[in-house]
A and B are shown apart, each in its own frame.
Chain A
Amino acid sequence: MPDLRRFFTRLISAVQQQWRAAGGRYRVTPLQPLYVGEDVPGNDIFDGSYVTYLSEAGRQLHALTFFSGRICDAYGNLFDTTDAESLHTGFGRAIFVMDADGNFYASKEQTYGMFHHSSLVAGGPVAAAGEIEVIDGVLTALSDRSGHYMPRQSFTDQAIDQLKKKNISFQGVKLDLIGRP
């Protein structure tokens, strides 16, 4: 029985890869139900606060771009998370999400009850979510720590797949994964 399951898992994965290679979009996972309505002032989730959801224009300011195997910010400057801070790890990491089209958005600040992964996509579904550590444009660590999306391993694999397509090297990169099945 486990062999049969493994066979179908590989088959589905192979079909998805072919589909993406043909220009398809990545699969997405929704916001955790607990946080639906977090952007409404007076909500019960973050009693006394509410989460900011970025507009399309605001989101583009957080877009990551890729040049010659380096990660850059929306303005083309080398991205660097040395001065970033995330709730789940602390200093040195930014939060990131990837959308269904493989676009990455990141924030070097995460403020409880005010700015989370969901802020970057206005509460919409994501193809991946977690944290990245980047020094002078070079990726040094990637995690799947997102309390708002709690992505399964297969979603993080999509982010790794897309970053490799952008010529980002994973040599020496620390993968700090919960690895949810």
Chain B
Amino acid sequence: MLDHRTKAQLRALLYPVQFEQQPELGIERVLRMVVGRNTLQTTPSDYLRAIRLALESRDEKLAEIIPHTLSEAAIRAYLQQLSNRLAGATVTAAAAAPFAKP
């Protein structure tokens, strides 16, 4: 069972693509408008953790976190792809950190 904080983070990742037939096409928008703006005071690592918990939870109905027309499988596939992008971005940011301007 996912806690409400994790569900709130997942809802943030699902909201922008809830009307998409192909949610993976909205990944850039989610990264820019939700993760990038940090409105829930949530870091990319927090979002990654939420996705990992969601994908590991086989009995949780992720499609019920927010109204969707998408199947459970489609949502899980989208979250997996988003996770891959987030992981890549996190690694890139960490690698660049020592060279970042103060």
| Residues in chain A within 8 A of chain B (CB atoms) | 32, 34, 44-49, 85, 87-88, 90, 111-114, 145, 147, 150, 178
Contacts and interface: CB of A to CB of B under 8 A. Distances in A.
3 nearest A-B residue pairs (beta carbon): A47-B8, A48-B41, A48-B40
A111 B12 CA distance: 11
A88 B39 CA distance: 16
B29 A90 contact: yes
A143 to B, nearest CB: 9
Given A44-B4, A87-B15, A49 B29 contact: no
Contacts of A49: 39-41
B42 A150 contact: no
**Most chain A beta carbons < 10 A, residue from B12, B37, B41, B42:** B12
Contact of A87 (B4, B29, B42, B66): B29
Contacts of A145: 19
Nearest to A115: B39
Given A32-B67, A90-B29, A112-B33, A48 B42 contact: yes
Nearest to B6: A47
Contacts of A113: 12, 39-40
Given A87-B15, A113-B40, A145-B19, A47 B29 contact: no
